[in-house]
Amino acid sequence: MKNTQNTGEVNETPSSSDNIKLQFEDIVKSFREDGNDTRVLDGIDLHVREGEFVSILGPSGSGKSTLFLLLGGLYRPDHGRIMLDGRDIAGKRGLVSYMPQDSAMFPWRTVEQNAALPLQLDGVPARTALSMARSALQKAGLEGYERSLPHQLSGGMQQRAAFVRALLGRRDVMCLDEPFAALDALTRQEMQHWLLNQWEQERRTVLFVTHSIEEALYLSDRLYVLSAKPTQVLQEIAVPFPRPRDRRLLLEPQFAALRGQLYELLLSAKEEEGARHD
């Protein structure tokens, strides 16, 4: 097992007994730009255990979303393996649930029809799928809005519906790509608290991308800090705060200290990127 220092830094590679659900092993990915190959990911190693909430932090353009596109099978790595339950799934689609930054709901479908879509794609009869979606939306606080169109909901409500849709996808791993980035500060805080409550009930395995240090610390069991391109893992942090959590945690001295440590790490990564381009 890993040794965790007081700072929360983790230093050792996981053993086979660590109940690893998802693992990126030495992932390398380049793209062709202006006639040249630009390396985006340069030997990424990270893992998520069963039922764990893991966040990825990094500068803009560091390839965080590229990792999700690789995981979703839309890209294939140039080198390395993506392992799910011990199987290499590189290039395979439909094995994880995905929630993007915007709700990405079909505007002509009602909220319940949008939420039911992954069930129907899995072969669940339409009537059963709609009934399951309706029940899940009601539990998410969206009772009375099931037959509304997406544009009739607030931003926070749309994100709740999108999260319900991801849950109904019935995949063991959920990938959340900056799902609250477009929300105002107050709604974002409310959605963070709501997501924690939902996750405590479901205990799905979650890989979460965010630019917010505070958000990553508040939500996560562990987090990875990425460098600028070509991207590597700078540090893996075990978040030391017990669950359940509430926003009083943000006032704790240990929270502030760890937030400051992460800020300095990301600032150094940004400065290093700037120096390379000078």
Q: Indicate if the pLDDT at residue 1 is higher than 50.
A: no
CB 208 within 8 A of CB 132: no
Name the residue ranges covered by the structural domains of the chain: 9-96+173-273, 104-170
At 63, is the pLDDT very low, low, confident or very high (cuts 50, 70, 90)? confident
The answer on pLDDT for 13 being more than 60 is: no
pLDDT at 3 over 80: no
Who has greater pLDDT, 63 or 273? 63
9-96+173-273 placed in CATH 3.40.50.300: yes
Residue 16 has what pLDDT?
44
Phi-psi region of 153 (alpha: psi -120 to 50; beta: other; left: phi over 0): beta
Q: What is the mean pLDDT of the chain?
A: 87
Per-residue pLDDT averaged across 175-185, rounded? 85
Long-range contacts of 26-32 (CB under 8 A, 24+ apart): 26/79, 26/80, 26/81, 27/67, 27/70, 27/77, 27/79, 27/80, 27/81, 27/82, 28/77, 28/78, 28/79, 28/80, 29/63, 29/66, 29/70, 29/75, 29/77, 29/78, 30/78
pLDDT tens digits for range 65-100: 889 899 999 899 999 999 999 999 999 998 998 887
So what's the pLDDT on residue 277? Answer: 56
pLDDT tier at 103, thresholds 50, 70, 90: confident
Residue 224: pLDDT above 90? yes
* 49-74 mean pLDDT: 89
Specify the pTM: 0.85
Q: Judge contact between 217 and 223, C-beta under 8 A.
A: yes
Is the model's pLDDT at 111 over the cut of 90? yes
pLDDT at 229 over 50: yes
- Looking at residue 184, its pLDDT comes to 86
Say if residue 262's pLDDT is above 60: yes
